[in-house]
Structure formats: C-alpha cells, structure tokens
Amino acid sequence: MILVLAMAGALWGIGALMKVPVRLRLGMILMLWLGVVGLHLLLPDGHPLRVSTGGEARVWLALGVVAGIVLGYRGLVSRLRAKAAPTKVPAPSGAFRPAELDRYARHIILREIGGPGQRKLKDSKVLVIGAGGLGSPALMYLAGAGVGVLGLVDDDMVDGSNLQRQIIHADARIGMPKVFSAEIALRAINPFIEIRPYRRRLDQETARALFADYDLILDGTDNFDTRYMVNRVAVEMGKPLISGAITQWEGQVSLFHPAQGGPCYECVFPTRPAPGMVPSCAEAGVAAPLPGVIGSIMAMEAVKQITGAGETLKGRLMIHDALFAETRVISVKRRADCPACGAST
C-alpha cells in the first residue's frame, strides 16, 4: 500500500513541477486507483501483486469513497463561495477611477471647479495647433488638468534649437516628429487621457475636418497665414478659439468666440503685417520662459472656458511685457465689417 501511495505522490509532484493542471493530475491518480482496484478484483487471494498493494480491495474502495467525499465537499464549498461573493458592477463609462480622484483632488476642492467642473474637463476635447513654444506648456497643463481628449497638430521635427523653450521635447528625441515627441511626454504626465497626434500641415479643409471633433481650439502657431485661416474656420464652425503669440520679450493672448458675442481674431487684427514687419523667433529671438508664461495662460483660459470658472479673456486682449514685468489687459470688440465674422452680427 505504501508503494501505491508513493507512486501517487510521485505523480502529483512531477505533475506540479511540469505545471500540469490540477485536474489532469487528479485524473492520473484516479487511473492509478482504478488499476489497483482492478488488480484486487481480478487476481486471486494471496497473489503477490495483491499482497504488495494492501491485500484487499475493500481498503482501496473505502479510500476512494473518502477521497470522493472530500473532493466533492471542496467543490461544493467553492461553488457556494462563488455564489455568495458580491457581484462586481463595472464602473459607468467615463467614471473617475480612484487614482484620478486623487490626481485631480486639488481641482475638486476648488469651489469654482469642483467635481462637476472636473467632469467637464474629462468629457472635453481640445485641439492644440502647434507643439512648439506655446503648445508645449499648454499641452502639458491641459494633460495634467485632465482634459479627456487632447489633439495636437504639427508637421515639424524636433530640432536642437527648440529645446531652449519647447519644454515638452527632449534631447533624446531630436529628429523625431514633434507630435510624437509630445505624445510621449503627455502620456508620461497623464495615462488616463486620450492623446491624438496629427502629423500634418494644416490647411482649410483639414482644419474643418479636425475642428468638427473638438470643443475648443488653441492656436500656438508662428505664422499669420495659419492664424487667419484657423480663425476663419473656427468662426465658420462656431468653435471658441484661444490664440497666443510671442516675440522677443512680449506675448499676448485672447479668447475669440463670436458665437457667444465676442470678437474674432480678425476683428482685432484686421490687417496682416507686411512681410518682415514682425520677425519670427528664429529671426528676432525669444526669452526662454516667455512661451511658458503665455502658453500656461492659454491653458488656464481653456480650463476656465470648459468649466465656466471665473471670467475668460473673451472680449479682452492680455499683453505681457516680460522685460519690464508689466501686464495689461485691453478691451477688444467685434467689428461689423469684419470679413470673418461680421456677416453673422
């Protein structure tokens, strides 16, 4: 009998080492038990095999009954426990995870944002045009704030000269398309949001197709043709537009939304500057933290526009002079003769 029990133990142990499923191991031991019982039933009394395996079939039949009772009891208990266990109800679609509640706690305790405001941020879709100086801080703070879907448009590559001010990029990603470099940084900041990189040059038709999917547009581009085109498409589609611009030590930002009574970009800047009148950052230079200041204000305006907190820069233009640490805000109004939005007055 000891020999048979040793064989059963060996089968179980070897099966465990080979990671054989428990059911198969139990099946092998059952086959051994049936073989032993068969020997005792078929062979005559006193046969050496019967003697070496216990002598009588009754012993093995009793052992089989006990083992069956034990296994049956364990199976019954497992089923009862499974039935008694509370059913896990899946969280509603879009619900905050515990980690998100902890992450956004400083927003949630703000009276002006709170839980409902954070819910609006999670449900919002924001498109940022340009992943450069202004887009970098704007994207990073919008990701940190919990904007549910962040789209970013840029067709440029990361260059070493960008890293002085475009803080979303890194030295190791020089030569990488900016939208994919920014995507890496944004996913590292917040894994709970959706990032949509668009590596393309923005034209009017592309802008229309993209703007349709978003609630708010941020323009951080550095050329006037794109700014005017983006403004006209935003006006056409009734989308609020936050536009920022920088040069050397000075920056400006405003929220343009004719659909809610505010002016559009072309109301405030009806005439494009003559070529060469407004040099680019590459031509005139720019103080490194300045894009961070203006880009962060753009992100702040986006958070207020989405949540309804405070007063936005709609109908106002903020001008920041970093060299002399001066900031002023001036009123701006719609123009009835504006070619972009005047017809809808």
Domain locations along the chain: 2-84, 98-344
Q: 22 pLDDT band (50/70/90 cuts)?
A: low
User: Which DSSP helix (H) or strand (E) runs through 152?
Assistant: strand 149-153
Q: What average pLDDT score do residues 179-197 get?
A: 96
Q: Is the pLDDT of residue 5 over 90?
A: no
What is the helix (H) or strand (E) element at residue 245, kind and residue range? strand 241-247
Average pLDDT over residues 5-34: 66
Segment 228-268, tens digit of pLDDT: 999 999 999 999 999 999 999 999 999 999 999 999 999 99
The reported pLDDT for the residue numbered 220 is 94
Predicted pLDDT of residue 101: 94
Residue 69's pLDDT is what?
78
Structure confidence by residue, pLDDT tens digits, 148-160: 999 999 999 999 9
Architecture of the domain spanning 98-344? 3-Layer(aba) Sandwich (3.40)
**Global model pTM greater than 0.75:** no
Distances (CA, A) of 161 to 6, 208, 282, 323, 334: 75, 32, 9, 22, 38
Local structure of 336: helix, strand or coil: coil
> How confident is the model over 40-80, as pLDDT tens digits?
666 666 666 656 666 666 666 667 676 777 677 777 766 66
Which pLDDT value is given to residue 273?
78
Cβ atoms 240, 260 nearer than 8 A = yes
